[in-house]
Structure 1
Amino acid sequence: MITPVLLCGGSGTRLWPVSRKSYPKQFTRLIGNQSLFQASAQRLASVGFGAPVVVTGSDFRFVVGEQLLEAGVDPGTILIEPSARNTGPAILAAALHMSRTDPDALMLVAPSDHVMPDPEAFRAAVATAVPAARAGRIVTFGIRPTHAETGYGWLELGEDPAPGSPVPLRRFVEKPDAAQAAAMLAAGSYLWNAGIFLFSARVLLEAFEAHCPALLEPVAAAVERARPDLGFLRLDPDAWAGAEDISIDYAVMERAGNLSVVPFSGGWSDLGGWDAIWREMSPDADGMAVLGPVTAIDCRNSLLRSESEGLELVGIGLRDMIAVAMPDAVLIADRSRGQEVKLAVTALREKGARQAEAFARDHRPWGWFETLAAADRFQVKRIVVRPGGVLSLQSHMHRSEHWVVVCGTARITLNGEERLLSENESVYIPLGAVHRLENPGKLPMVLIEVQTGSYLGEDDITRYEDVYARP
C-alpha cells in the first residue's frame, strides 16, 4: 500500500490574480471542473493507494477537508503547519508521523497543484518504482521535456533509461537560462524535475540523519507534541518555529547517493505561469485560449480569461498576450513574460494593495462572503452559508448590522434568543449585541448584510463560541 503525501503550502503568485495567498492556485478550478488539489487527490485514490496525508496551513484546513469530501476522497490525515517552512520540514513531518505506525510505509510525495491528463499512465510509472523504493532507493519522477523550459529544475540521468524501470540519477540542475535549457533539451539525457518522490519513511529519515540532521530535532518535537484539532492534527508551533526553511532538494535530495529516476512522458505541467495555462487550455488554430465571457477580434496566440460572469473581456488585434480579468483586478502581460507576474505581486504588496494577497471574496469554514459596496462608515456584503454552516457567537464594538435573507432559511441568535428568518425577512443587530448566524437548511443560505459604524474591519469581532475553534 502506498500513502500519498499531498503538499498544499504554495501561494501560487505567478498565477495572480486568479491565485492569491488567501486562496492559492491548488484550490482553484484553473483547468476543468475540479480544483488542482481535487484532481491530484483523485489521481492517487486508486487500487494500491491508501488514504492521503495532506500537509497544509491552518488557513486552508477546512478547504482541504471540504474539497476532499466533495471529490469523494477519504480525507485521511491532515497535518497543519503552524507556519510555512518549505518542503523539507513538511515532508519530514509526514514521514515521522507515518513511521509511528509503520516505519517501512511507502510514501508518494506530490505537490497538489500539478496537471496530469493521463492519471493511469502516472500510476503505472509509480508501480515501476515500487521495487526500487522497497529496496531502499529514493525514487523521483522526471518529465520528458517538450521544450527548453527555464521555469523548471532539471534532472541529469546517470545512464540511458530502460523502458519500465528506474535508472540512477546523476544530479539535480537548478532552473537554467535559455541557452542551457536548449543544450539540455538537445542532449536528450535530461528530464524536468517534477518534485514527486517515492520512498519508505525509514529511508527518508535515514537520509535526513545523514544529510540534514539539524532539522530532525525541531520537526520530531513538533510531531511528538502535535495535538488533535477538530479532526486535524496541528503540529506544535513552538517546536516548528525552530525548523529551518529549506526545500527537500537542498536538505536531502542533492546530497543523497541512493537516488533513482523514472522517466515519465504521459503529459505533465506544474502550471507555473500563465503561459503554461495557455498551453493546457488547448489553443485553437489561431493560438487562442479563451475562458468566460470573452470576445476576441483578430487576436493570435493569446490567452483571454474572464473570471466574472458580469465582466465582458474584449481583445482586439492582440498578439502573444495574456489578459486575465477578475472583479477586483486585471492582468495584462506579454505572454513571454509570464514568469514576471510574481514581481507585480511584490509591487502591489509594497504599495499596500489588498489585491496582492486577498480576494474580494473571503472563504470561511462556514461558507464565504464578498464586499459589494464600501465607503466611509458603511459596507454592504453578500454572505453565503453552506448547509449546516455556523458562524461564531460574537459581538462588535464599532458597528451595527442589518441582515436581509434573500435565499434559504437563517437561524438567528440575538442576545440569547433564537428565531428563524425566511426569504425577504430581516433583522437588525445593534452595536454590542451578542449574535450568531447559521444555516439549518439543506440548501445554501444567502443574505445581504449592511454594516454601519466608525470602524468596519474584520478584526472587530469578539468571539464567545466557535464550532471551528478559531481564536
Structure 2
Amino acid sequence: MSEIIPVILAGGQGTRLWPMSRSARPKQFIPLLGALSLFQQTLLRVADRARYGAPIILTHADYRFLVAEQALEVGVALGAILLEPVSRNTAVAIAAAAETALAQDADAVLNVLPSDHAIADDADYHGAVTTAAAAARDGWLVTFGITPDRPETGYGYIALGTEVNTQVRKVGRFVEKPDLDGAQAMLGQGGYVWNSGMFMFSAAVFLAECERLAVDTKRAAHTAVHKAKRDLDFVRLDEEAFATAPNISVDYAIFERTDKAAVLSVSFGWSDLGAWNAVWQALTPDAAGNVSVGPSLLSNTTNCLVVTDNAHVVVEGLDDVAVIATEDAIFVGRLSQAQRVGALAKSLKEDAKTQGLTDVHKTAYRPWGGYASVLLGERFQVKRLFVKPGKKLSLQKHHHRSEHWVVVSGTAEVTVDGKITVLSENQSIYLPLGCTHRLANPGKILLEVVEVQTGSYLGEDDIIRIEDEFGRAG
C-alpha cells in the first residue's frame, strides 16, 4: 500500500496573533504551546515512517532556513521544501505538491495539513488518518470536519450529506463563517461540522479534478514544478508559471465544486489558533480562568490571557482581557473580541511609522543565529549577535560603518582581510571601514557577541556579501 505523504502548508504570514506573530516570523514558527513551535509539533505528528512518508513542505522563500533549521532541531527528515515565489492561496500550492508527489509515486496519497494548528497527537487522530486514507484510496477527496462543541463564529462549517460508509459522508455544502445566531442554529440542528482545513486524497485524483474544474491552476502548478530549480536543499517553483495561477483557495477551486468531496467527522482535540482567545482555550487556565505565559503577576483578575517574552506584566482587577507583550510592542484588548487583532495589525502596516511592528521583531533571526538591537543613536548602534555552533556569517564588507566585536560567551573565529583570529570570552577585535570580514562559531555552545557600529549609515542594506553558505552572496 502506498505511503501517506504529508503536505505541510507553512507559508502563511498571518498577523491575527500580533504582536508575537509577524511576517518575518509568523505563528507557525514560534513556540505558542510549549517549547516547540507549531510547525515542529506538526512535523513530529507525522514522523512515524511506518505510517507516513517524508513530508513535502510548502513555504515562502523567506522562511526556507527556518523550515530547514526547525526540522533539523526535532530530527525530522524532509522529502522536499517547495518555495512559493508569489502568494497565490492554497489551490495552486497544493496542486504543486501533488505534482511533486505524483512524479515519485503514481499511487501517492496526500495528507494536507496547516502548520499552525494545535492538534492532539493521539490514537483518535491517527485512527482518523487511517480512515480518511482508506476513503482517499477509493477515490474520495476527504476533508476533516471537527465535531463542534460550541457556537463558533470564527470557523467555516460543512453540512454532512449522504453516507459514503459508516464513518465518511459526502459533503452536503460548505457554509461561510456565520454570525452567532447562525452558529447557534447549526449547533442546535446538528449535522454540521467545523471546516478544519485538513485534507486527504490521492494525488492523481486531485490533479484530475483540477484538470476538470480548475484547469488554470493545474496548468500553472504543472509548469511551475517542471520548470523549478534546485537551490541548496530547496526547490524554487518557477515564478512566471506560478504567478499565472488564480489567487484562490482549494475549497473554492475544487472542494465546493467536485462531486468527489467527502467529510470525516472527528472529535480529537483541534484548534486553528486563529486568535488570542483560541490560544487561551488551548491552554490550561488556573482556578480564576487565567492563562499566563512568561513573567507575570495577576491579582483580582479573571478569564484573562497574558503572554510576555520579556517584560514582567502585572494585571490588577480585570476580566476578559488579553495582554500580549513583546520587546517593542504591547497589545491590550478584550479577549472575547480578539478576532479584531488582524484588522488592527493591518492598520499598523498601512502606516509607514508603524509598518515595521508588523514585519519584524526587535530580535531578527537568520540561518546562522540572529541579532537584536540594544541601543541606537546618531552614527552609532549596539547589537547583540548570537551564532549557533558550527555556523558562520557571510564573508562581507561595509561601505559606511566600522565595527567593534566583544565576545560575551563562546568562541569566535574572526576573519579580517584574510587573517583569522580566534577570540574567547572578554576578548575583542576592531573591524575598520571597508575591511572584508566574517564571524564564525567553531565551538559547541552558542556564541554571543556585542557589536558596536559607528559610521554615517548603519542600515542592514550596507552589506556587500562576497561569499555565503546560504546562497545570499551579492
Q: Say whether 1:200 aligns with 2:199.
A: no
Q: Distance in 2 between matches of 1:404 and 1:68?
A: 32
Q: How does 1:325-336 map to 2 (within 5 A)?
A: 325-336=325-336
Counterpart position of 2:313: 313
Q: Name the structure 2 match of 1:415.
A: 417
Work out the CA distance in 1 between the residues paired with 2:8 and 2:36.
16
Measure how far apart 1:162 and its partner are: 6.9
Find the partner of 1:100 among 93, 99, 103.
103
Map 1:138-177 → 2, pairs under 5 A: 138-159=141-162, 165-177=167-179
- The reply to whether residue 30 of structure 1 matches residue 6 of structure 2 is no
Q: Which residue of 2 is the match for residue 337 of structure 1?
A: 337
CA distance in 1, matches of 2:467, 2:200: 43
Q: Residue 329 of structure 1: CA displacement?
A: 0.6
- 1:384 Cα offset (Å): 0.4
Residue 340 of structure 1 aligns to a residue in which SS?
A: helix
Over residues 120-158 of structure 1, what are the superposed CA-to-partner deviations in whole Å (9 max), with x where a residue is unaligned? 311110111222111111011000111111111111100
SS of the residue 2:271 aligns to? coil
Q: Deviations over 1:104-123 (max 9, x none)?
A: 20000010111112433111
Structure 2 distance, partners of 1:195, 1:294, is 35
**2:152 maps to 1:184:** no
Q: CA deviation at 1:82?
A: 1.3
SS at match of 1:406: strand
Take 1:327 and 1:231, find their aligned partners in 2: how far apart are those partners?
Answer: 33
For the residue of structure 1 that corresponds to 2:209, the secondary structure is helix
1:376-397 deviation line (CA, Å, top 9, x unaligned): 2111110000011111111111
Asked if 1 retains the 8 angstrom alpha-carbon contact of 2:45 and 2:121, the reply is: no
| Aligned residue pairs, count | 468
In the alignment, what sits opposite 2:126?
A: 123
Report the residue type matching 2:450 in the other structure.
I
1:82 corresponds to which letter in structure 2? Answer: P
Do the aligned partners of residues 24 and 149 (structure 1) sit closer, same or farther apart at CA in structure 2, a change above 3 Å counting?
Answer: same
Name the CA distance, whole Å, in 1 between partners of 2:245 and 2:432: 46
2:24–2:361 CA contact under 8 A, matched in 1: yes
Cα distance, 1:210 vs structure 2: 1.0
List per-residue Cα deviations over 1:156-176 (Å, max 9, x = no partner). Answer: 10047976x211111111111
Aligned residues of 2:92 and 2:220 also touching (Cα < 8 A): no
1:66 and 2:69 aligned: yes
User: Given the alignment, which residue of 421, 437, 441 partners 1:439?
Assistant: 441
| Residues 44-443 of structure 1 mapped to structure 2, 5 A cutoff | 44-46=46-48, 47-159=50-162, 165-308=167-310, 311-352=311-352, 353=354, 354-443=356-445
Distance 1:232 1:101 in 2: 17
Identify which of 5, 8, 13 aligns with 1:6.
8
Does the 8 Å contact 2:163/2:170 carry over to 1? no
* Aligned sequence identity (%): 47
Residues 160 and 189 in structure 1, CA contact (< 8 A), matched pair in contact too: no
Please say if residues 218 and 240 of structure 1, whose CA atoms lie closer than 8 Å, have aligned partners that are also in contact.
yes
Shift of 1:348: 1.2
What is the SS of the residue equivalent to 2:196? strand
Q: In the aligned structure 1, how far is the partner of 2:7 from the partner of 2:278?
A: 24
Q: Provide the secondary structure at the position in 2 that maps to 1:181.
A: helix
On the 8 A contact 1:44/1:123 being kept in 2, the answer is no
Deviation, structure 1 residue 303: 0.7
Provide the rounded CA distance (Å) in 2 between the counterparts of 1:90 and 1:274.
27
How far is 1:55 from its partner? 0.6
Superposed displacement of residue 241, structure 1: 2.1
The alignment's C-alpha RMSD in Å is 1.3
Question: Relative to structure 2, which stretch is displaced further, 218-227 or 378-387?
Answer: 218-227
Distance 1:238 1:393 in 2: 32
Distance 1:134 1:427 in 2: 63
- SS of residue matched to 1:171: strand
Structure 1 CA distance for aligned equivalents of residues 252 and 462 of structure 2: 43
2:304, 2:322 within 8 Å by CA — same for their partners in 1? Answer: yes
For 2:132 and 2:177, how far apart are their aligned partners in 1? 25
| Residue type of the alignment partner of 1:334 | R
Select 2:461's aligned residue among 453, 459, 462.
Answer: 459
Per the normalisation by structure 1, the TM-score is 0.97
Aligned match for 2:42, one of 40, 43, 48? 40
CA distance, structure 2, for counterparts of residue 159 and residue 176 of structure 1 = 23
Alignment deviations for residues 59-82 of structure 1 (CA, whole Å, 9 cap, x no partner) = 111111111121121122111111
Give a deviation string over 1:379-430, Cα, whole Å, max 9, x none.
1110000011111111111111111111111111111111111111111111
Give 3-state SS (helix, strand or coil) of 2:104's partner: coil
Cα deviation, 1:283-305, whole Å, max 9, x if unaligned, reads 12211111111100100111112
Unpaired segments ≥5 residues, structure 2: none
Normalised to the residue count of structure 2, the TM-score between the two structures is 0.97
Query: 1:238: how far off?
Result: 2.2
Residue 142 of structure 1 contacts residue 193 of structure 1 at CA under 8 Å; is this kept in 2?
A: yes
Whole-Å Cα distance in 1 between the matches of residues 223 and 301 of structure 2? 57
For residues 226 and 172 of structure 2, the distance between their equivalents in structure 1, rounded to whole angstroms, comes to 36
Shift of 1:12: 2.5
Do the aligned residues in 2 keep the contact of 1:43 with 1:119 (CA within 8 Å)?
no
Q: Indicate the SS of the match to 2:324.
A: strand
User: What is the one-letter code of the residue matched to 1:117?
Assistant: A
Is the contact made by 1:388 and 1:438 (CA closer than 8 Å) also made in structure 2?
yes
Measure the CA separation in 2 of the matches of 1:455 and 1:101. Answer: 51
